[in-house]
Chain A
């Protein structure tokens, strides 16, 4: 008997995608195999390492602990969806590059998604809060120090950008526009 297939509609990085999968297809595998979005990495496949973390309706969750069928209708953001619309790096991605927050890069997608959501919730983390923010993700290479620095740098970049935007708006030309 062939396995029952389910039609699943996912909104991935703003684009509606339809897939046909068996119920047992993990969301991480659906993203990688069915949709070809291989940015989401799979390390432990039981919720411990955090490499597969994506945003589900804006909140970080483990893609390896969800069934694709159970994500029907959800809005998903993977690492591929973090870059700005013009293709430039997001503040978190930029901070990782500046702070040397990655080496092999295997864990990085999970850190980037987790921190992106973390900074939305808490834009000005203390050092301890920055550490806590990445406490659920494992990295075998960096020793974490530069990742924590990247969290703090990303918060600073976001604040600088916001200040610059506010300044432009205050200048007469900015206001006129």
Chain B
């Protein structure tokens, strides 16, 4: 359980980091290491070179603007969770982050690292997908913005190239008349979820104008389902049940040692109803998600 040998560089500037990555195809980026170090120790990953981002300036910033929250690559989950500013502009961030691992892991692991690690059972990839956010990637050959819809291409596989550094992720702000909710079921709080659901609901004059949900742990990639039609404008027991069934058509709950496929499907039904109800309440309460 010890990593295989690798070369290690800790560049002081981003261009230096990008050059190292461009020159060594067998390089990997190290951020918080909360996913990568276990993979190294178990020798499931054996890169030739590790490029440690932890000395790069400016990547530790959380920029909150009226249109959304931009999270730098060295922002730890714990810092984003603690940001009252970020919570005000997009309350779903803190709701979901509270379920990302345990506090000790959140102190080191980065939100951007979790997104580009692209684990379908991780919370923040599903949140980024639901909100229609994006990741900014830089390489020696330039910069590009990857929309969440094009980022997650397979299990633990993102469309980020090996020579790219994801410098930030952008989460759009909560739009007007909209509420959000998050819930998941895990064996223990802080463990990876058996199933998790993030939802946003827009309510106009008491009626549901739009509703969608992002799912984790019940498909190969974080999956967003539009549930507007299934709800038919209202939040009732019947419409919520219909939403759960509609979601299942787009998901593929699998069995493992923790849960059967049927149990995961049942969690989809129960959590879809619970989270849509919460998001609807959030949209319709005075002061909304400030609470």
Contacts and interface: CB of A to CB of B under 8 A. Distances in A.
Interface of A: 3-4, 6, 22-24, 26, 29, 45-47, 50, 53, 56, 59-62, 64-67, 69-70, 72, 114, 118, 132-133, 135-136
Contacts of A22: 5
B3 A24 contact: yes
A102 B11 CA distance: 43
B225 interface: no
Contacts of B40: 24
Contacts of B42: 46
5 contacts: A23-B8, A24-B5, A46-B38, A56-B108, A70-B30
Given A62-B108, A65-B33, A136-B105, A24 B7 contact: no
Given A26-B41, A46-B41, 19 more contacts: A3-B5, A23-B8, A23-B50, A24-B3, A24-B5, A26-B2, A46-B42, A56-B107, A60-B104, A61-B107, A62-B104, A64-B41, A65-B105, A67-B37, A70-B30, A135-B189, A135-B190, A136-B105, A136-B190
A26 B37 contact: yes
Contacts of A66: 33, 37, 108
Would you call the interface of chain A mostly helix, strand, loop, or mixed? mixed
Contacts of B34: 47, 62, 65
B188 A135 contact: yes
A136 B104 contact: yes
Contacts of B257: none
B207 interface: no
Contact of B10 (A59, A70, A114): A70
Interface string B39-64: 01110000000101010000000000
B189 A132 contact: yes
Contact of B41 (A4, A45, A70, A72): A45
B10 A69 contact: yes
Interface string B1-42: 111111110100000000000000000001001100110111
Contacts of A29: 2
Given A26-B37, A53-B104, A62-B105, A4 B54 contact: no
Contacts of B33: 65-67, 70
Interface in B187-208: 188-190
Nearest to A131: B189
A136 B103 contact: yes
B7 A4 contact: yes
The 9 closest A-B CB pairs, nearest first, are A136-B102, A23-B8, A46-B38, A24-B3, A59-B107, A65-B37, A60-B104, A61-B108, A45-B1
A23 B28 CA distance: 14
Contacts of B50: 23, 67
B41 A114 contact: no
Contacts of B105: 47, 62, 65, 136
Contacts of B54: 70
A59 B32 CA distance: 14
Contacts of B279: none
A133 B33 CA distance: 22
A50 B33 CA distance: 15
B78 interface: yes
A24 B33 CA distance: 12
A22 B40 CA distance: 14
Contacts of B78: 59
Contacts of A135: 102, 188-190
B102 A70 contact: no
A4 B52 CA distance: 16
B52 A70 contact: yes
B104 A50 contact: yes
A3 B7 CA distance: 9
B10 A72 contact: yes
A86 to B, nearest CB: 29
A147 to B, nearest CB: 15
A24 B38 contact: no
A29 to B, nearest CB: 8
A118 B101 CA distance: 16
B44 to A, nearest CB: 11
Contacts of A59: 78, 107
A125 B265 CA distance: 37
